[in-house]
Chains A and B, each alone.
Chain A
Amino acid sequence: MEMKVAKKKLGLKERYRVMTRDLGWEPSYHTKEALYPYVGYEGIKIHDWEKWEDPFRLTMDAYWKYQAEKERKFYAIVDAHAQNNGHLNLTDARYLSALKIFLQAISPGEYAAHKGFARAGREFPGVGTQVACQMQAIDEIRHAQTQIHALSNYNKYYDGFHAFSDQRDRIWYTSVPRSFFDDAMSAGPFEFMVAIGFSFEYVLTNLLFVPFMSGAAYNGDMATVTFGFSAQSDEARHMTLGLECIKFLLEQDPANVPIVQAWFDKWFWRGFRVLGLVSTMMDYMLPKRVMSWREAWNMYGIENGTALFNDLARYGIRPPKGWDDAEKAIDHMSHQFMLGLYQWSFGTSFHSWIPSDDEMAWLSKKYPTTFDKYYRPRWDHIKKLAAAGTPYKNYGLPKLCQTCQLPTVFTEPEDPTLICHREVEYKGERYHFCSDGCQHIFENEPEKYIQAWLPMPQIHQDPIRGDLGAWMDWVNLKDGQDNGDYVGSNDQRNFDAWRGLATSNE
């Protein structure tokens, strides 16, 4: 028999309660400790999970409707882009190097963030937190998917896109974000939230996504602009969640403050190293530049960062330990890193090139105290080598940092002409670092970082044993296609030919 019950329409507040807080229950045949085994060991004390405020009061049904609408718009534009040869609207195919790095290094990070938030949502006891983590987990997998879909169109025409997931796992310049996410995902749930929810989403997102999306807009890449827009409202929610989480931790117990500060120090530095990739993209890879890395840092790093530290000072939080070293590195890092990417370009699944005279003039204008003094002489020499028919390749594989896993290309904070050497012995084994920041992170948890899988030393172990050709097969890199100088590449040849067809009557 069917019973007809008059449905009462719920008010917004009521609805939020029913759809989130009311989903929880008190366990009766297991202890809370058995249900949430990971919530205590990091030393964080939470006295009242009810104090968790959901800043958006978003319920899953509303979330679903809203996201579905964004998906429809996104795919309409991406399909149109594919059908209308949108790739020929790019300023130049050099731009694709930035996209390739993004797909190999950053999009897999979205997927990792998805896994991490799904796990954090299971491990936190509070319902408000669980629901917020669940939504962010779905956001993140959507970001990974939309990025891969948007960029798959370029894969039809250009080299270097085809094996992004192998390259995420195996190639060397992607190991900085890979190890960043591996580190966060193998930490406890609170550290994960500080690492991704706070340091990454709140402190660093603007420095990664804003320059990248404006770079796309400046360079005619509608596909990327579209996924940027589609993710933007999520990012706003994530940033607020990250800040909410940090304040919740700091307010629950004063004993949480030093723990959070240590994570803040660690994850600021880890994030800063990931930004090394972004700095090279901004200063060297965009045919039409948006702003320099230095300008982006002033705007999003210093201004927003300082406002944030001032806000958190009332809890006893100070700026992260590596803040001053970061400032000293800003005018150098993109140049130091790009020189590395160029000289090891036989091992990159994207193209690089010697900056043109115009580009060098731009660099010296943007970096008046460093470019001409330190970096121009190196590029001039590299140019000379190329003109002499002996283009510069450095087959000396580099030493890597045990923590951030980047080649140790960065210099002493006080001497930009000297590589920074840092070394620690732990249980009779030597470990090397790119900086004091990375060394400190190691020293706090050596037992974790000694296990790092470092792509360069690995080349000399099984199964590669130093064979560069075997390594290229293993990382799915096609020599002479995906790698090397842009000048003379398939990408250059094809783009110029196709664009010629599209813009002339030849």
Chain B
Amino acid sequence: MAVAALKEYVGVSRDRVENYHGKQLVYVAWDYHMLFAAPFMFCVEPQMKLGDLVRGPLSALMQPDPDAASIDWSKVEWLKLGKPWTPDFERSIEENGIGHKEQLRFRTPGLNTLRDAA
């Protein structure tokens, strides 16, 4: 049973993609970089080039981390649905198969300054 109820009960999600006026949510997390307390949430157009999201708003938010300046995006390892994944920065969010509320993660092997500081 999907809910304990007296009669037939159907819920409606509050965060459906149609509530975002043509945009969608995307979550991005930099693994092992815990200066950022939680994954970042972006609200973007599905037609936006993935590279524009990464080099634009994502890179801007990453600046406070001491590793941000040394990052080489061509060497970054990406995860989608927890599995290794290769993005195409030149294609759009949509063309990269990134759905509404998708969680992307990336790792920067050898570049984990604050984690390795202690």
Residues of chain A having any CB pair with chain B under 8 Å: 37-38, 41-43, 187-188, 191, 336-337, 339-340, 343-344, 372-374, 376-378, 380-382, 385, 390, 392, 394-399, 407-409, 411, 417-419, 421, 423, 429-432, 445-454, 456-458, 460-462, 465-466
Q: In the complex, are the beta carbons of A394 and B61 less than 8 A apart? A: yes
Q: Which residue of A lies closest to B117 (CB)?
A: A377
Report Cα–Cα, A454/B61, bound state, in Å. 22
Report Cα–Cα, A380/B118, bound state, in Å. 11
Q: How many residues of B contact A (CB 8 A)?
A: 46
Chain B residues whose CB sits within 8 angstroms of the CB of A409 once the complex forms: 37-38
| B6, B14, B27: the one within 8 Å of A399 (CB) | B27
| B13, B81, B114: the one within 8 Å of A423 (CB) | B81
Q: In the complex, are the beta carbons of B40 and A396 less than 8 A apart? A: yes
Nearest CB of chain A from residue B7's CB, rounded to whole Å: 9
| A340, A432, A465: the one within 8 Å of B37 (CB) | A340
Q: In the complex, are the beta carbons of B3 and A377 less than 8 A apart? A: no
Chain B residues whose CB sits within 8 angstroms of the CB of A392 once the complex forms: 35, 64
Residues of chain B having any CB pair with chain A under 8 Å: 2-6, 9-16, 19-21, 23, 25, 27, 29, 31-32, 34-41, 43, 61, 64, 66, 81-82, 99-103, 105, 114-115, 117-118
Chain A residues whose CB sits within 8 angstroms of the CB of B14 once the complex forms: 450-454, 457-458
Q: In the complex, how many residue pairs between chain A and chain B have their CB atoms under 8 Å apart? A: 145
Q: In the complex, are the beta carbons of A451 and B11 less than 8 A apart? A: yes
Q: In the complex, are the beta carbons of A432 and B27 less than 8 A apart? A: yes
Q: In the complex, are the beta carbons of A399 and B39 less than 8 A apart? A: yes
Q: In the complex, are the beta carbons of A376 and B36 less than 8 A apart? A: no
Nearest CB of chain A from residue B6's CB, rounded to whole Å: 5
Known: A41-B4, A409-B38, A430-B102. A457 touches B114 (CB 8 A): no
Chain A residues whose CB sits within 8 angstroms of the CB of B118 once the complex forms: 372-374, 376-377
Chain B residues whose CB sits within 8 angstroms of the CB of A454 once the complex forms: 14-15
Chain A residues whose CB sits within 8 angstroms of the CB of B66 once the complex forms: 381
9 closest A-B pairs by CB? A398-B38, A396-B40, A340-B37, A377-B117, A447-B3, A447-B2, A460-B43, A396-B61, A407-B38
Nearest CB of chain A from residue B53's CB, rounded to whole Å: 12
Report Cα–Cα, A38/B6, bound state, in Å. 8
Nearest CB of chain B from residue A140's CB, rounded to whole Å: 24
Q: In the complex, are the beta carbons of B21 and A465 less than 8 A apart? A: yes
Report Cα–Cα, A376/B25, bound state, in Å. 33
Chain B residues whose CB sits within 8 angstroms of the CB of A417 once the complex forms: 32, 34, 115
Known: A447-B9, A457-B25. A399 touches B32 (CB 8 A): no
Report Cα–Cα, A397/B66, bound state, in Å. 20
Known: A399-B103, A421-B103. A37 touches B6 (CB 8 A): yes
Chain A residues whose CB sits within 8 angstroms of the CB of B2 once the complex forms: 445-447
Chain A residues whose CB sits within 8 angstroms of the CB of B13 once the complex forms: 429, 450-451
Q: In the complex, are the beta carbons of A41 and B5 less than 8 A apart? A: yes
Chain A residues whose CB sits within 8 angstroms of the CB of B32 once the complex forms: 417-418
Q: Which residue of A lies closest to B79 (CB)?
A: A421
Residue among A373, A378, A456, A465 with the most chain B CB within 10 A?
Answer: A378
Chain B residues whose CB sits within 8 angstroms of the CB of A448 once the complex forms: 3, 11
Known: A41-B6, A421-B103, A445-B2. A460 touches B20 (CB 8 A): yes
Q: In the complex, are the beta carbons of B38 and A340 less than 8 A apart? A: yes
Known: A445-B2, A447-B11, A458-B14. A421 touches B105 (CB 8 A): yes
Q: Which residue of A lies closest to B66 (CB)?
A: A381
Nearest CB of chain B from residue A468's CB, rounded to whole Å: 12
| A395, A429, A465: the one within 8 Å of B16 (CB) | A429
Nearest CB of chain B from residue A45's CB, rounded to whole Å: 15
Q: In the complex, are the beta carbons of A397 and B41 less than 8 A apart? A: yes
Q: In the complex, are the beta carbons of B39 and A461 less than 8 A apart? A: no
Q: In the complex, are the beta carbons of B103 and A432 less than 8 A apart? A: yes
10 A-B pairs with CB atoms under 8 Å apart are A188-B4, A396-B40, A397-B41, A421-B29, A421-B105, A430-B101, A432-B103, A447-B11, A451-B12, A466-B43
Q: In the complex, are the beta carbons of B37 and A394 less than 8 A apart? A: yes
Residue among B4, B15, B100 with the most chain A CB within 10 A?
Answer: B15
Q: In the complex, are the beta carbons of A423 and B41 less than 8 A apart? A: no
Report Cα–Cα, A364/B2, bound state, in Å. 45
Chain A residues whose CB sits within 8 angstroms of the CB of B31 once the complex forms: 418-419
Nearest CB of chain A from residue B118's CB, rounded to whole Å: 4
Q: In the complex, are the beta carbons of B38 and A399 less than 8 A apart? A: yes
Q: Which residue of B lies closest to A408 (CB)?
A: B38
Q: Which residue of A lies closest to B29 (CB)?
A: A419
Residue among A336, A381, A453 with the most chain B CB within 10 A?
Answer: A381
Report Cα–Cα, A455/B66, bound state, in Å. 30
Q: In the complex, are the beta carbons of B114 and A378 less than 8 A apart? A: yes
Q: In the complex, are the beta carbons of B36 and A457 less than 8 A apart? A: no
Chain B residues whose CB sits within 8 angstroms of the CB of A377 once the complex forms: 114, 117-118
Known: A381-B66, A395-B61, A454-B14. A460 touches B37 (CB 8 A): no
Q: In the complex, are the beta carbons of B115 and A399 less than 8 A apart? A: no
Chain B residues whose CB sits within 8 angstroms of the CB of A408 once the complex forms: 38-39
Q: Which residue of B lies closest to A461 (CB)?
A: B19
Report Cα–Cα, A343/B115, bound state, in Å. 18
Report Cα–Cα, A118/B17, bound state, in Å. 38
Residue among A188, A191, A373, A430 with the most chain B CB within 10 A?
Answer: A430
